Amino acid sequence: MTQQSLPETFRLRASNFNLLVLRLLDPRPDAVLPSLSDQFRRAPGFLRFAPIVVGLSDLVAAPEEVDFRGLIEGLHALEIVPVGTTGGSPAMRQAAQAAGLPPLRTSGGKDEDGPVEQARPQAQAQVQPVAVAAAPAPAAPVVDFRGTGRAAMLVTDPVRAGQRIYAEGADMVVTTTVNPGAEVLADGNIHVYGALRGRAIAGAQGDTSARVFALNFDPELIAIAGYYAVRDGLGHAPIGKPVQTRLEGEEMRFEKLG
């Protein structure tokens, strides 16, 4: 379930692909490759020229112990095409990248085979422009976080009617208000330390664990991972209070904070 952008001749379009993940359990190519080739001999053509992603989370080894170049060569010899990595420590991903395997980000913003809490902020610091699983072309301005070591976009001016701000692959922290007619989107959580009077869309790429926090909860619309509620449907929510909104299954919960 990895998302990847492929360059067309003239245009760049985001697209979703189902990819197989090869989760490495052993750092040595000469141990992995023979058993791999063994398995594929039993299912000939099954993986021929198939792109796969190398999963690094289960690997118990230091980055310098892993021979990524050898692995890539070996996979090519088996007519398997590794396209990137997922999970693993930043150092591990960096080692893989040096060998030509960029880290990919899964569409939910979390790594399928890695601990969520760790993977998200780290992924931000590590993502390289080419390797980033592209979001559906955002219509909103996007702030570049690479190199800042931060996985949150900080908004300090009031978000005004007609404005739309998108924190791609990150949380958003708004220190003032989101006014009626404004829209804030984030792939992660949204925090508003003022009044939330416009629209808030968290988990914009489908992360159902994303939440919306607001000191003064008074939104026009609130959405998490595609589930949404308009103001008219918020009758039972504590309007005007500090509230966190989260998904529980398919149900949106509004809980008073503090």
| Cα distance between residue 156 and residue 234, in whole Å | 27
Output the CA–CA distances (angstroms, integers) from residue 127 to 60, 101, 166, 169, 219, in the order listed: 22, 12, 18, 10, 33
C-alpha to C-alpha distance for 89 and 91, rounded to whole angstroms: 5
Check binding of 48 to other proteins (CB under 8 A): no
> Considering beta carbons, is residue 76 or 160 the nearer one to other proteins?
160
Bridge partners for 239 per DSSP: none
Q: Give the nearer residue to other proteins in terms of CB position, either 136 or 141.
A: 141
Name which of 112, 80, 76, 90 is nearest 207 in CA terms: 112
Would you give the binding string for other proteins spanning residues 132-161, x where CB under 8 A is met?
-------------------------xx-xx
**Shortest CB 170 distance to other proteins, Å:** 21
Q: Which is nearer to other proteins, 197 or 246 (CB)?
A: 197
Contacts (CB under 8 A) with other proteins, residues 68-87:
none
Count of CB atoms within 10 A of residue 129's CB? 9
Tokens 């958003």: give the residue. Answer: 172
- Residue span 175-194 as binding mask against other proteins, x where in contact by CB under 8 A, dash where not: -xx-xxxx------------
CB of 119 to other proteins, least distance (A): 34
Q: Name the residues that contact other proteins, by CB under 8 A.
A: 157-158, 160-163, 176-177, 179-182, 195, 197
